[in-house]
Copies of this chain bind each other. A is one copy, B any other.
Amino acid sequence: MSGSTGKPLIGTMEELSAAIGVSRPTLSRYFQDPGRVSRTSLEKIRRGLERVEYTPNFFATRMNRQSTGMIGVIIPYLNDLFFTRLLESIEVAAMGEGYTVITQCSHSSPDVEARAAETFLSMSVDGALVAPLGNVSDFEAHERLNARLPFVLVDSRPRNMAHVDFVGSDHLQSTGLVTEYLCRKGAPPAFLAMPRVNFNALERENAYVARMRALGHDPEIIGTEAIDADWHFEAHGLAVLDREFSRGRLTDRSILCVNDRVAIGALRAAARHGLEPGARRRGGLRIAGHDDYPLCPFTVPTLTTVAQDVEAIGRAAVARLVAKIKGETRARAQSVDLFDGVLKVRESA
């Protein structure tokens, strides 16, 4: 048997040992850390590996090691560039720390989410990073993970898991920031929300209300009812504002959307009704979002929003998890890392 390279294919370390004349334990040490074998053996092994094809069996190696070198990541869904950016920053950070990332996607299903958690337990990953689905999450599954592994919540924190380590955005700050900006530059905004299945959505909603009250304005929230059961964010924003605009409402208001994907739907609704959202015409329609979705600079008009520091969140989450894995003493107490948002003023508000 041989691979595409024509080299003979070697299946086990034992065979490799026989093939290149180095004892198996020495090979074992070599594959764990080439620095732990003598120069002469190292040369012999290097030359040998050029003649044959061999990769250590992942399962056998991990089974006997205290650490598997893997961290598990669960994200709620894939079709959202926010989560792909988060995942990317996590993977890059983890790779930098020498870990292999195993990603599981909940695909909006609590069952799948729980199964992913079980998979991580059975694979005895060194730690787990979880961005939960929301209200429908299987909290028991998360608690089980948290009880048995180094565990960090990312992006969104369920109310009943307030005792767990968390890394995310400070929505009170970020939503407050954009709310304040809108109030300062024009009419106080209404808030285009979502059905309350998601903690961040609710946090932002509350942050909006608090800031509006603090500024002496009456908050106004729309869109908490699901118009379409199988809704997507953009479709939700479009449907809600399409309805409002059709009734002649909100056409000259400021509208703060719970996130940029909803805002993109809102922009579409505006276009459909011949409205041109923008900062320049005082008293006209303004639309702003939250997250700095990668497409914001390319929408028509470009979308004013507040950026989450996704990369910092990913890095911090990995750093925190690695600290817990390595059992650093300062990792005993609970930690909550919240990152500030940064206002991105563009055309739409």
Query: Among the listed B81, B144, B300, which residue makes an inter-chain contact with A81, where contact means beta carbons less than 8 Å apart?
Result: B81
Q: What copy number does this chain have within its complex?
A: 2
Measured in the bound complex, the distance between the Cα atoms of B57 and A301 in whole Å is: 54
- Residues of the B chain whose Cβ atoms lie less than 8 Å from the Cβ of A268: 297-300, 302
In the complex the two chains form, is A122's CB within 8 Å of B56's CB?
yes
Give the interface SS of chain A, mostly helix, strand, loop or mixed.
helix
Rounded to whole Å, the gap between the CB of A7 and the closest CB of chain B is: 10
Segment touching B, from A82-90, A247-255, A315-323, A329-337: A82-90
Rounded to whole Å, the gap between the CB of A274 and the closest CB of chain B is: 11
- Residues of the B chain whose Cβ atoms lie less than 8 Å from the Cβ of A297: 234, 268
In the complex the two chains form, is B81's CB within 8 Å of A238's CB?
no
Query: Among the listed B63, B87, B122, which residue makes an inter-chain contact with A63, where contact means beta carbons less than 8 Å apart?
Result: B63
Segment touching B, from A98-106, A183-191, A212-220: A98-106
In the complex the two chains form, is A234's CB within 8 Å of B298's CB?
yes
In the complex the two chains form, is A143's CB within 8 Å of B63's CB?
no
| Segment 291-327 of A: residues with Cβ below 8 Å from B | 294-295, 297-302
Interface flag for A123 (CB, 8 Å): yes
Given the known inter-chain contacts A63-B60, A271-B301, A295-B295, please indicate yes or no for A144 contacting B84, CB distance below 8 A.
Answer: no
A positions within 8 Å CB-CB of B: 2-5, 9, 53, 55-60, 62-63, 68, 78-81, 84-85, 87-88, 91-92, 95, 100, 102-103, 105, 107, 112, 118-119, 121-124, 140, 143-144, 146-148, 232, 234, 238, 264-265, 267-268, 271, 294-295, 297-302
The 9 tightest CB contacts between A and B, nearest first, are: A4-B143, A78-B84, A4-B147, A300-B300, A58-B122, A59-B59, A271-B300, A59-B63, A58-B123
Q: List 26 A-B contacts (CB under 8 A).
A: A3-B144, A3-B147, A4-B140, A4-B143, A4-B144, A5-B140, A55-B118, A55-B121, A56-B122, A59-B124, A63-B63, A78-B85, A78-B87, A79-B81, A80-B84, A88-B107, A95-B112, A102-B102, A234-B297, A234-B298, A238-B298, A267-B298, A267-B300, A268-B297, A268-B298, A299-B300
